[in-house]
Amino acid sequence: MGVRKSIPLMLALLMMTMSFAGCFGGNVLAVKDNRGIPGGLTLACLSADKYTSMVVEIDYESGYMPEQSSVDLLKTRLGEVCDKPGGINVLLTETNFEHSGSWTADDVREKGWMHKSNQPQTGSTLYWQAIFPSTGYENNDVLGVAVDASTVAIFKDAVEEAEGPFFSRPSAEEIENSVLVHEFGHLLGLVNLVYKSPVDHEDKDHPGHSNNEDSVMYWAIESVNLRNFITGELPDEFDNDDLNDLSGMLSGEIPVTDQLWLP
Ligand SMILES: [Zn+2]
């Protein structure tokens, strides 16, 4: 693939046996404009040189507000890696996207940008956005997508369906927790989206994802292989390889490409 694709996060239902293309299977061309690609604002997040504070804008349709635990976890995970002395604030806004039917990655970009409260790079504040629409992705097994440098979407109905009927299966709330952090992990460039890790932890069959089942960037979170987690816990944090990649990018040890802002 010569062109960056959007990053649908897929998670198949337990009973489904067909397999799906990975996160990069969407055949959506990268937007060659100031929206960038997932990972295009990685350094803007990691560094405090220009962006000293951050706002995570969550625009949700009525009935689709994220769980408080997802919001709290996202703030925690971003705070662990992004240097924002002015703080990371979450701005929750009920929104009507006036969109009927299912969503494509292009729809997420268009409607997301239409409803952003600010440009992603505004003064010394970095704005990242998650939208929670009331309808699903075109492939309704997709739980979330990261579509450019500042925009992700979470499809709550698919998250609910993914919970499944079994007692020991991760709850919809736990799945939402992990999916939200996973998508923002793509905005942080993980794995190998805007750099090449010195450690071989990208799954060879699932580009842009970790091969470590204890990383929130693990590929199987978004596939029928979620069944592997039925009796275990879904990872909801970055592993040491992910964290070392981020600190290597920040220090300059690891070259970073496709950035909308450079220190
Ligand atoms: Zn993914």
- d(CA 23, ligand 1 centre) in Å: 5
- d(CA 95, ligand 1 centre) in Å: 25
Q: Which domain holds residue 43?
A: 7-251
* Residue 259 included in any domain: no
pLDDT of residue 163: 78
Q: How far apart are the first and last CA of the chain?
A: 29
Backbone angles phi, psi at 250, to 5 degrees: -65, -40
Q: How far is CA 259 from CA 48, 55, 104, 142, 148, in A?
A: 15, 19, 24, 27, 12
CATH, residue 213: 3.40.390.10
* Residue 92 included in any domain: yes
The C-alpha atoms of residue 39 and residue 6 are separated, in whole angstroms, by: 11
Angular region, 62: left φ>0, alpha ψ -120 to 50, beta rest: beta
Residue 222 has pLDDT above 90, yes or no: no
* Residue 161 included in any domain: yes
- d(CA 216, ligand 1 centre) in Å: 9
More confident residue, 263 or 94: 94
CA gyration radius for the chain?
17
* Residue 116 included in any domain: yes
- The strand pair at 151-154 and 53-60 is best described as unpaired
Residue 10 has pLDDT above 80, yes or no: no
Number of domains in the chain: 1
* Residue 258 included in any domain: no
* Residue 257 included in any domain: no
* Residue 118 included in any domain: yes
Residues, Cβ < 5 Å to ion ligand 1: 9, 23
Say if residues 135 and 101 touch (Cβ distance below 8 Å).
yes
Question: What's the whole-number mean pLDDT along residues 231-249?
Answer: 91
* Residue 114 included in any domain: yes
The C-alpha atoms of residue 80 and residue 242 are separated, in whole angstroms, by: 12
Please report, rounded to a whole number, the percentage of residues in the chain having pLDDT higher than 70.
81
Q: How many CA atoms lie within 13 A of 255 on its CB side?
A: 2
- d(CA 8, ligand 1 centre) in Å: 6
* Model confidence pLDDT, tens digit, residues 107-148: 999 999 999 999 999 999 999 999 999 999 998 778 899 999
- d(CA 147, ligand 1 centre) in Å: 11
